[in-house]
Amino acid sequence: MGNSFGKLFKITTFGESHGRCVGVVIDGCPAGLKLEKKDIQEELEKRKPKAEGISTGRREEDEVEILSGVYKSYTTGAPICLLVWNKKARSKDYEEIEKGLVRPGHADFTSFFKYGGFSDLRGGGRFSGRITVSFVLAGVVAKKILKERLKIEILAHTIQIGEKKIEKVKISEIRNNVYKNKMRCANLKVAEEMEKLVEKIRREGDSIGGKIEAICLNLPLGLGEPIFDNLDGEIAKALFAIPGVKGVEFGRGFEVVKLKGSQNNDLFRIKKGKIITETNNSGGILGGISNGMPLVVRIALKPPSSIFLPQKTVNVRKKKEEILRLKGRHDACFVPRAVPVVESILAIVICDFAQRAGLIERVISKSPYYH
Amino acid sequence: MGNSFGKLFKITTFGESHGRCVGVVIDGCPAGLKLEKKDIQEELEKRKPKAEGISTGRREEDEVEILSGVYKSYTTGAPICLLVWNKKARSKDYEEIEKGLVRPGHADFTSFFKYGGFSDLRGGGRFSGRITVSFVLAGVVAKKILKERLKIEILAHTIQIGEKKIEKVKISEIRNNVYKNKMRCANLKVAEEMEKLVEKIRREGDSIGGKIEAICLNLPLGLGEPIFDNLDGEIAKALFAIPGVKGVEFGRGFEVVKLKGSQNNDLFRIKKGKIITETNNSGGILGGISNGMPLVVRIALKPPSSIFLPQKTVNVRKKKEEILRLKGRHDACFVPRAVPVVESILAIVICDFAQRAGLIERVISKSPYYH
Amino acid sequence: MGNSFGKLFKITTFGESHGRCVGVVIDGCPAGLKLEKKDIQEELEKRKPKAEGISTGRREEDEVEILSGVYKSYTTGAPICLLVWNKKARSKDYEEIEKGLVRPGHADFTSFFKYGGFSDLRGGGRFSGRITVSFVLAGVVAKKILKERLKIEILAHTIQIGEKKIEKVKISEIRNNVYKNKMRCANLKVAEEMEKLVEKIRREGDSIGGKIEAICLNLPLGLGEPIFDNLDGEIAKALFAIPGVKGVEFGRGFEVVKLKGSQNNDLFRIKKGKIITETNNSGGILGGISNGMPLVVRIALKPPSSIFLPQKTVNVRKKKEEILRLKGRHDACFVPRAVPVVESILAIVICDFAQRAGLIERVISKSPYYH
Amino acid sequence: MGNSFGKLFKITTFGESHGRCVGVVIDGCPAGLKLEKKDIQEELEKRKPKAEGISTGRREEDEVEILSGVYKSYTTGAPICLLVWNKKARSKDYEEIEKGLVRPGHADFTSFFKYGGFSDLRGGGRFSGRITVSFVLAGVVAKKILKERLKIEILAHTIQIGEKKIEKVKISEIRNNVYKNKMRCANLKVAEEMEKLVEKIRREGDSIGGKIEAICLNLPLGLGEPIFDNLDGEIAKALFAIPGVKGVEFGRGFEVVKLKGSQNNDLFRIKKGKIITETNNSGGILGGISNGMPLVVRIALKPPSSIFLPQKTVNVRKKKEEILRLKGRHDACFVPRAVPVVESILAIVICDFAQRAGLIERVISKSPYYH
């Protein structure tokens, strides 16, 4: 259990890093959405490793297959199963791990004991970053619905890696620059510095953490169901499904700890006949409900646990302390690859809430074929 | 919708700040748990306002009623309805708000529009901190189950208010000191400084934010259901149900952004025959599953939005900019009152996971009456 | 667990027969529905015991309390807690049962063992017909939404008791006659015969079963979510929550076993520009989705298990065979009291589906107070 | 939405009759269950069409693929995706239907309007009996868990087709005979008569309904979660997912309508130290909870809607009355093929309840490979 998310727009994920495939079943997509292989392929490219220094050397040639729920290029209302076959996994690198040598920081240890030693530990198995392919697959559908029906736009970008961080950026910079550089950073100059840092860390056989910000524009007022199914809570929960997330914050986030009410309160005013807030410290959410301002959320991503320095660990099958010397190809930083994943997660959650609020009709459009 | 939480240990909350009551229905509590009014009353006291400077002047004389699910002092397996009647609410203070003057930072604005002007806005209505009474009521039951069956202990404490923060504390200090001072701080010296700060802020008619840490001890290895129903995600979601939470982090949290893998990875070792980690940067969670180390989570709480300084805002009924001058009694800081609430939320989530993992038998003990 | 039903219109029930109360929390009712005590009281009257011979002698003076979710006579969008206090329960009649003498046909036996002897067995406790008060309370809200928003009408009536059954009736007879006779039968002549039969059975100290039909008129085409959350499946599940239901069937129901396709298929035709079926053997559901014809469902209700004839049974505490001689007041037939309950259950399910289909806006109407 | 079932043992189905495949994702299967292709293949054979006269001429060469969740022949605790590719579908036969000619009795009509004309109507699409392959795939896993862990046995058999029905049968006859004859009937003599009847009906171009009974042996006392998630309600709901089911009844079912309490009550007695009931009119369920006696449930299956006689219907695209003359190959009775499907559905529901009751450990056994 635990592999599904959503109430009306509901996804169920499956697959492992070195298994046959990773995939997703999307239940609750309205009928009549145009959905073609190329739409999905484009988004998959975004999370592909591009640069040796940053991403895994492993070249993933991910190609989606649409197994159900789409007929003559339109969604039918039936569940959509999307799948990417795994290729070229080098399972040999994981022999030691399978023999019981759990990697520090990874889920090998908890997975091994929770599942009584039956887990597929190759490449992290079900706990690998590879599974975020499922999120991207579902995210394509969610983004399309949000864009075509509600003109909602979702943007994510790298705002910090190690000590390197960006200052203020404009929305236009995010739109234009993020997918033009390897670091997924909106500021091209900082992107370069980040790249150098990651390259340095990689050469040291080490890894580095980072921070991603996501913004959701044109979100209608009123999304979110208090008290428990509020917008921030559900987004936070979904973001923690991304391997390596250690913190989630909205608006001013952890800065509010030091703020006074007079500094933090966003004052209301009327601008061009619309009620807005002068500042957006709340990150677009009041009482768990969207207030019409841009939704702003940030996550902290830990440094990848796979490093090439020797590490003390335990062989859980032998119950003995041993030294782990990692093999294989590993990201020195997974922030860049996580950027499109964060976008996808956000789209999935918001699509679900938009449906709960009755904003998305069950039948989306008229097919040229039928009518 | 949205007022329920949990899968096997499931709570449904109801009630408003100035309505007749706040309450909760707990479904999934095993039969045979001893549960008496005094057990609940004790916990309710913990979130009571004690000090004029810190908490609302409003004296809440909360008294629980057990409406169902308990017979001869033992739970029966039927749903438990617990309720506290509201008393002495001064609804007069909210006349202006009801007339449409939405308070900056509050949910008045979103609530008003989401519910078409039908919300009970008195005292924040359904969005008031008052509703956390429901969490505490359910938390009593969850804590009892966890303590009696699994010897799990849950501790929360104030770690920062404004710029005042504690350094390292011992578990024993948390156990001994938290409920001995108004600030719910484990370090009595810092508690005093915090108290002065809050008093100063209160006199200024302003408010201040803070940070709470919660620790869960003796948590068994293996709780949490990846990928989406993982332990961190569910805890985060539940914590965002507390009004004013703007961020949630586990272990090193947002610090991981700057860390290298070699600094952040917790190395495994064997100690007294048990596999542990040398450090606990992960906060006790690997891959969304508890690893047997203490679970550590922190939240950022914003400064109360109710301040006595005049604020620019909008009258949503008149669609006109106006100035808000708040009346009534309001907390200058709600961190201290949130401490037992955080404990409760954590207990509720963990109790649910322990049941999903099959660790809590459906019938808890043998009643002296029956056998 | 198990005490909740629904996805977007969600009810959570609580209370026991001889406990303090029975109640319900309704989550997902749109804001702006006019809801007053008298609306609810009227419906409660319908399930009240009226005639000595038929219903329990116990006079239930049920009076509803609205505990939350309603402000100035309109729903607010917050969860609505409705409650009826229990009065005048004669728990003395249940002393033997509490000592372990489980009543044949009742849930005493399963409840005793499932909950380790901690169940409140007085009056059947949580398994009593008394708990259907909760369904009626929630049904009032569901019916109002359906009627005011979608002009959906729900009718239930007794069609058989023992061997006495009605033949064809007109909708107008159901509308006019059901609540005019004690048996809740649309045919007044048959009603009289049924009444005599039940009175005879009652004098024998025995009880008798029966059948109820429910019809839903003006149901829009397209309700129901295949494959599992289909309209028939969800209705069936909800109807089995009524104590004593042993079968549920739609349209021609169990008769289809003997039919040929050429007899059973409902042929489509166009009438006044609308596509209808000539017959309605399907009971208004095709592929789990409403087809716009009247929905027709029937349930089999067993004879009440409480009879005054001595019965062989087992004392589960002593693990010894004994003879049970029942005391107290008991219905000889609970079909009449179940009629409004069936209506309520149907309304609850359909209200949930209408919301899933996006047919009910989250805010229902404009309050005269606010606008 | 609607394509998932279960709470802890959760299945999500996908696929269409003439699409690329039908499949299922099983979430919540404990780790350590031995699961091999041949186990599944065996069960798939059971629902295969065997005899021309009874089943569709279409020869389904279904071969399962295990896409995830299994490693080295053991389940890993990760979601299990099982899939069968569709072959040899003759979509040409459905050209008229795609042009708008909805078939009486089928879901074409409701599906067309619910999904705005975007449904894949070929072969019934998502509403085809073909989708029950998904139930069988998941049923294999559920049955294995129940058998290996709890020694629960599930049997289903044809008890009536048209007017032909069996009288009492012994459990041993069900065990031995059902899969030895085309009709899935425990009485071989009646099976022969049924076969002749179906053959006669087939030659007439017509179809016929029938009744299936399922029995669950060795069910532990205490399964089922009242009030709504009771054992009968959940089973009923799940059975209605099988296309063509029009009624579900437990124990004496609709017969109880005519019974007196003194006839229907099952008296308790002690036999070999165990409390049992003398009769089993309840069908093994009291108050929604299993009582340890055999669970007995029956379904009414309608005659297949696909008949070769000309039928009046409507072209929904042209909104015009037309005559439908069906092409293709169709079952004259789908009772025999439904028998293993009913077994599967029952296994899936009971497996879920056994997990809710904590009866199935999350890790099932020890793999020879690992330990």
Instruction: Judge whether residue B244 has pLDDT over 90.
Output: yes
User: Tell me: the pLDDT tens digits for A299-328?
Assistant: 999 999 999 999 999 999 999 999 999 888
In a domain, residue B152? The reply is yes
In a domain, residue A187? The reply is yes
Give the pLDDT of residue C362. 74
Of the pLDDT bands very low, low, confident and very high (cuts 50, 70, 90), residue C368 is: very low
Q: Which residues are paired to B13 by β-bridges?
A: B24
DSSP C131: G
How many C/D residue pairs have CB atoms within 8 Å? 349
Work out the average pLDDT over B185-201: 97
d(CA B285, CA A247): 13
Instruction: Judge whether residue C253 has pLDDT over 90.
Output: yes
d(CA C225, CA A51): 45
| Nearest CB neighbour to D78, from listed A16, A67, A74 | A16
Of the pLDDT bands very low, low, confident and very high (cuts 50, 70, 90), residue C49 is: low
Give the pLDDT of residue A14. 98
| Nearest CB neighbour to C361, from listed A8, A355, A358 | A358
Of A55-69, B241-255, B322-336, minimum mean pLDDT range = A55-69
Of chain B, the percentage scoring pLDDT greater than 90 comes to 85
In a domain, residue D366? The reply is no
Rounded to the nearest angstrom, the minimum Cα separation between B23 and chain C is 9
Tokens describing residue B209: 């934010």
Q: Which chains touch C (3 or more CB pairs under 8 A)?
A: A, B, D
Contacting residues of D for B362, CB less than 8 Å apart: 222, 357-358
Q: Which chains touch A (3 or more CB pairs under 8 A)?
A: B, C, D
Q: Please answer yes or no on whether D67 and A115 come within 8 Å at the CB atom.
A: no
Contacting residues of B for A253, CB less than 8 Å apart: 246-247, 300
Of A31-40, A60-69, C250-259, minimum mean pLDDT range = A60-69
Concatenated DSSP letters of B271-331: ETTEEEESS-TTTTEETTEE-SSPEEEEEEEPPPS--SS-EEEEETTTTEEEEE---S---
Q: Do the beta carbons of residue D367 and residue D74 sit within 8 Å?
A: yes
In a domain, residue D130? The reply is yes
Q: Do the beta carbons of residue A178 and residue A185 sit within 8 Å?
A: yes
Work out the average pLDDT over B189-211: 97
In a domain, residue D300? The reply is yes
Cα–Cα–Cα angle for B238, B217, B295, rounded to 5 degrees: 50
User: Tell me: the pLDDT tens digits for A131-175?
Assistant: 999 999 999 999 999 999 999 999 999 999 999 999 999 999 999
Of chain A, the percentage scoring pLDDT greater than 70 comes to 94
Give the pLDDT of residue A294. 98
Give the pLDDT of residue B364. 63
Is the backbone of residue A243 left (phi > 0), alpha (psi -120 to 50) or beta? Answer: beta
Work out the average pLDDT over B180-207: 97
Q: Please answer yes or no on whether B358 and D361 come within 8 Å at the CB atom.
A: yes
In 10 A of CB C118, how many CB atoms?
A: 28
Of B183-197, B227-241, C151-165, D313-327, minimum mean pLDDT range = D313-327
Q: Do the beta carbons of residue B83 and residue B22 sit within 8 Å?
A: yes
Contacting residues of B for C118, CB less than 8 Å apart: 31-32, 71, 74-77, 363, 367, 370
Is residue C109 classed as helix, strand or coil in its secondary structure? Answer: helix
In a domain, residue D363? The reply is no
In a domain, residue B115? The reply is yes
The range of the structural domain enclosing residue C179 comes to: 4-356
Contacting residues of D for C104, CB less than 8 Å apart: 265-268, 277
Contacting residues of A for D68, CB less than 8 Å apart: 14-16, 19-21, 23
Between residues C326 and C246, the one the model is more confident about: C246
Instruction: Judge whether residue B369 has pLDDT over 80.
Output: no
Q: Which residue has the tokens 């005292």?
A: B123
Instruction: Judge whether residue B288 has pLDDT over 50.
Output: yes
In chain D, helix, strand, coil percent, each to 5?
A: 30, 25, 45
Of A85-89, A141-145, B201-205, D112-116, minimum mean pLDDT range = A85-89
Helices within chain D (DSSP H only): 37-46, 95-98, 108-114, 132-150, 171-177, 188-203, 231-239, 261-264, 335-356
Give the pLDDT of residue B249. 98
d(CA B321, CA B314): 4
Q: Please answer yes or no on whether D358 and B358 come within 8 Å at the CB atom.
A: yes
Give the pLDDT of residue B247. 98
Contacting residues of A for B303, CB less than 8 Å apart: 256, 259-261, 263-264
Instruction: Judge whether residue B96 has pLDDT over 80.
Output: yes
Of chain A, the percentage scoring pLDDT greater than 90 comes to 85
User: Tell me: the pLDDT tens digits for B309-357?
Assistant: 999 999 999 999 999 998 887 899 999 999 999 999 999 999 999 999 9
Global pTM?
0.96
| Nearest CB neighbour to A305, from listed B110, B233, B265 | B265
Average pLDDT per block of 10 residues along chain D, 371 residues long: 96 97 97 96 82 49 95 97 87 82 96 94 94 98 96 98 96 96 97 97 97 97 96 98 98 98 97 95 98 97 96 94 88 96 98 92 56 36
Q: Please answer yes or no on whether A257 and B321 come within 8 Å at the CB atom.
A: no
Mean per-residue pLDDT of chain C: 93
Of A312-321, B142-151, C284-293, D52-61, minimum mean pLDDT range = D52-61
- Tell me the C-alpha to C-alpha distance, in Å, between residue B62 and each of B21, B48, B65: 10, 8, 10
Q: Please answer yes or no on whether C358 and A356 come within 8 Å at the CB atom.
A: no
Of the pLDDT bands very low, low, confident and very high (cuts 50, 70, 90), residue A89 is: low
Give the pLDDT of residue C285. 98
The CATH code of the domain that includes A332 is 3.60.150.10
d(CA D11, CA D26): 5
Of A334-348, B41-55, C247-261, minimum mean pLDDT range = B41-55
Q: Please answer yes or no on whether D269 and C225 come within 8 Å at the CB atom.
A: no
Rounded to the nearest angstrom, the minimum Cα separation between B273 and chain D is 19
Q: Which chains touch D (3 or more CB pairs under 8 A)?
A: A, B, C
In a domain, residue C368? The reply is no
Instruction: Judge whether residue B365 has pLDDT over 70.
Output: no
Q: How many CA atoms lie within 13 A of C321 on its CB side?
A: 14
- Tell me the C-alpha to C-alpha distance, in Å, between residue A245 and each of A209, A238, B137, B309, C94: 10, 10, 31, 38, 57
Q: Please answer yes or no on whether A356 and C8 come within 8 Å at the CB atom.
A: yes
Instruction: Judge whether residue B77 has pLDDT over 70.
Output: yes
Give the pLDDT of residue B52. 43
Give the pLDDT of residue A48. 76
Between residues A52 and D60, the one the model is more confident about: D60
Rounded to the nearest angstrom, the minimum Cα separation between C362 and chain A is 7
Tokens describing residue D354: 């056994």
Integer Rg of chain C from CA: 21
Q: Number of structural domains, chain B?
A: 1
